[in-house]
Amino acid sequence: MKRLRTFIALAAVPLFLAACGNLSSSSMSGTSGSSKSGGTQLTGQSSDGDYEGVIKSGHYQTSKSRGVTNSQDSGNTYNLKSFENGMLNVSKKVFSTKKYVFQEGQHLSASTVQNWLDRKSKSNATGLNPASNGSTSSTGRNPIYIQALEEQDYMTQKNNKLSLGGVTIGIAVNSVDYYKKTQYGATFETKISKAAGEAYAKKAANTVLKRLRKKSALKNVPIVIAIYRQASNDSLVGGDFIAYSNNKAGATSVYSWTALGEKNYVFPVESGESSPNSNDESSFSNFKTEVQNFFPNLSGVTAQAHYNGKSLTGMHVNIQTQFYSQTEIISFTQYLQTAAQKYLPSGVPIDITVSSTDGVQSFLNRTTGSKKFTSHVFNSY
Amino acid sequence: MKRLRTFIALAAVPLFLAACGNLSSSSMSGTSGSSKSGGTQLTGQSSDGDYEGVIKSGHYQTSKSRGVTNSQDSGNTYNLKSFENGMLNVSKKVFSTKKYVFQEGQHLSASTVQNWLDRKSKSNATGLNPASNGSTSSTGRNPIYIQALEEQDYMTQKNNKLSLGGVTIGIAVNSVDYYKKTQYGATFETKISKAAGEAYAKKAANTVLKRLRKKSALKNVPIVIAIYRQASNDSLVGGDFIAYSNNKAGATSVYSWTALGEKNYVFPVESGESSPNSNDESSFSNFKTEVQNFFPNLSGVTAQAHYNGKSLTGMHVNIQTQFYSQTEIISFTQYLQTAAQKYLPSGVPIDITVSSTDGVQSFLNRTTGSKKFTSHVFNSY
């Protein structure tokens, strides 16, 4: 039941408002076969690399299992964003953003997903997690392997109508299963190796694929299944996608897996650990030193670094500050614009967020192709 | 003493590091008369409309009265940003961003400003606020008129040296003075009319100008004095600059004041009040309705609107959301990009910030000249 933490009663959705939401820039306005009280629109695309989303009768088409899929958020908030973003990225390998439109999963209900995520038991035959073996010892018990399962739908557009063109299922497996022996008791941990988690998830993926094929809407579309390994609760970055399979329309068992060499690191790297490229580490370290000299009391400079194999593919830099005056924030942000360009690795997209206890103060951004960082200072009249 | 809330012990500044911080894009690198252990650099400019700031020996040149000037933050955090940004904007009328470089105030120390902000008394002859008359009744007492006073320095650059080219002093007067009759007791209010506050501040400005002229460094530079009226603590927007005077080099009394017709409003406007232009109000109201239909549980859509006379000159829109999944935030942000362009007033700069209890989730921005909004979704690996 804890998985229902943020479950939103769909019954509470206000009544559909007719004839509103005809966005002028939408590529399909006011025409849809599925609803007579309004039309289907798209959200608009902010860049070529993003999917557009689906609006029905002025409302965003939320996921049928909304809330359940947020379960992994409880321990490490990085996992949730990382998991959903990663699913989009894996999907882009198969479903082009030029041809497909994103829709939140409409075929798995909240109760279905919840049952799948629970342990298998007499009352829950569809549970994908192993039945309890009665043990509460960290090495003797059967851990919860699968922590989250999410559906994303990819729609194609023809004659002003959207139809399902493919589905991506994300399966998140734990690297550590946190459990309690008694209610409100201490939290214990069962570690799950990468190999064991991956093997368990791949078996579950096969089961999931068979189940999905029993739904008539999903019988004949490509289904991508991607396996994600959650980061532990103390991590400052989310987990990693380790493999995906692209299952052709109609296939009822997973034919092959493609390994993904993506991995996240936190800079500065903890002593004893190392990242794939020490040049990136020292670039970041020079940046950090330089920036920490700038102000007398800068609390922390860290970064999430994303690697594909040995290549850095992006970075999120996080700068925590003491309280600054607005002019200090403006000057600091200008300075960062220069320092980041000089010190941080070139050729990859980088975000820098400057926060204080009052929240985000400013942020800087460099996209893949650009040399310069753009910046924005959050302001108030 | 409460004014010292965030006062930062300057003695705690780490020792200057020699020969670091030679930013390649700085317009003056490694040369300064004032410091032998390092050079003076500039922060770099993020846009033509912003001032560059001063870095000395790799450190940002913080204000001599750092912390004291943050006093007004205690009640309404909007006032502080609004006050400092407004001082920059008033300064731009006199000191061109092309010619002048911004430096935090270096001529008024923390203790000086603190004494000036306190009441006049036997032990504090320089207090700019009236001596206590012994009354604690909200209408009978002498209120604290002047809540904050801040110095900004504007430097000119010649032969690779910076010298003081002008000073801006901001004087913030209360619209409401919050006071306690007993320590830890209830808070009472003395209201100060715009006319009374303005008259008091103008008299104080004259005193301040005379005092500044006694400092040799400030004898012969233009001194701009700007008067700001603080918003009350329950306001969702900062206060307004009401007047400024540009005092030529050497002038020891304020010759004339220029009234500023700038005023901030909060949308939706409270019932019974009105903004200068009802079209802007209804544009915002349409936007709000449209956006609130998009998701089942959007908590709030408000805006700060900045007017110059009857003309809207900018807007900060604030959207508070319940927890959303990452794909929902992406779609919502794409949708906002279209909806904002369609519904919000055109031709003025507009920011939109989307926040949840986890902090800022995404933001959109349109600059003065552009038609389209750019957007950024905060992300995590």
Q: Where are the domains of chain A?
A: 63-260, 265-377
Per-residue pLDDT at A71: 53
Q: Do A381 and B59 touch (CB under 8 A)?
A: no
Q: Do B58 and A328 touch (CB under 8 A)?
A: no
Q: Do B327 and A152 touch (CB under 8 A)?
A: yes
* DSSP-based three-state secondary structure for B106: coil
Q: Is B18 on the interface with A (CB under 8 A)?
A: no
Cβ-proximal residues to B205 (8 Å cutoff; 6+ apart), any chain? B169, B171, B225, B227, B245, B254
Distance CA A162, CA A158 (A): 7
Distance CA B348, CA B308 (A): 12
CB A224 within 8 A of CB A256: no
Cβ-proximal residues to A39 (8 Å cutoff; 6+ apart), any chain? A21, A22, A28, A29, A30, A31, A32, A56, A57
Torsion angle of C-alpha atoms A151, A156, A162, A164, degrees rounded to 10: -40
Distance CA B296, CA A56 (A): 12
User: Could you say which residues from 329 to 358 on chain A have a Cβ atom under 8 Å away from some Cβ of chain B?
Assistant: 330-335, 337-339, 341-342, 351, 353, 355, 358
CB B58 within 8 A of CB A351: no
In this complex, how many residue pairs, one in chain A and one in chain B, have their CB atoms less than 8 Å apart?
242
Taking 50 as the pLDDT cut, the residues of chain A under it are 1-37, 70, 73
Is domain A265-377 annotated with CATH 3.30.300.190? yes
Could you check whether the bond before residue A268 is cis, i.e. omega within 30 degrees of 0?
yes
**What is the CATH code for B60-260?**
3.10.570.10
Nearest residue to B211 (alpha-carbon basis) of B193, B225, B231, B232? B225
Amino acid at A371: K
Per-residue pLDDT at B4: 37
Q: Is A182 on the interface with B (CB under 8 A)?
A: no
Q: Do A295 and B59 touch (CB under 8 A)?
A: yes
Amino acid at B339: A
List, for residues A262-288, the tens digit of each pLDDT value. Answer: 999 999 998 888 889 999 999 999 999
Q: Do B44 and A334 touch (CB under 8 A)?
A: yes
Chain A residues in contact with B376 (beta carbon < 8 A):
351, 363, 365, 376
**What is the CATH code for A63-260?**
3.10.570.10
Torsion angle of C-alpha atoms B24, B26, B30, B34, degrees rounded to 10: -160
Distance CA B60, CA B309 (A): 37
- The total number of residues shown for chain B amounts to 381
Helices A77-94, B326-343: inter-axial angle, 10-degree rounding: 80
Q: Is A77 on the interface with B (CB under 8 A)?
A: yes
Mutate to test the interface with A, among B28, B285, B381 (most CBs of A within 10 A): B381
Distance CA A223, CA A232 (A): 28
CB A79 within 8 A of CB A172: yes
Helices A326-343, A278-294: inter-axial angle, 10-degree rounding: 150
CB A230 within 8 A of CB A147: yes
Mutate to test the interface with A, among B331, B350, B351, B373 (most CBs of A within 10 A): B331
Q: Is A198 on the interface with B (CB under 8 A)?
A: no
* Neighbouring-strand partners of residue B290: none
Residue B327 is nearest to which of A17, A88, A316, comparing CB atoms?
Answer: A88
User: Within 10 A of A121 (CB to CB), how many other CB atoms are there?
Assistant: 11
pLDDT (tens digit, 0 to 9) for every residue of chain B, 381 residues total? Answer: 334 333 333 223 222 222 222 223 333 433 333 333 458 888 887 777 889 999 888 888 889 987 775 455 467 788 988 999 999 999 999 999 999 999 999 999 999 999 999 999 999 999 999 999 999 999 999 999 999 999 999 999 888 889 999 999 999 999 999 998 988 889 999 999 999 999 999 999 999 999 999 999 999 999 999 999 999 999 999 999 999 999 999 999 998 999 999 999 999 998 788 889 999 999 999 999 999 988 867 779 999 999 999 999 999 999 998 867 889 999 999 999 999 999 999 999 999 999 988 889 999 999 988 889 999 999 899
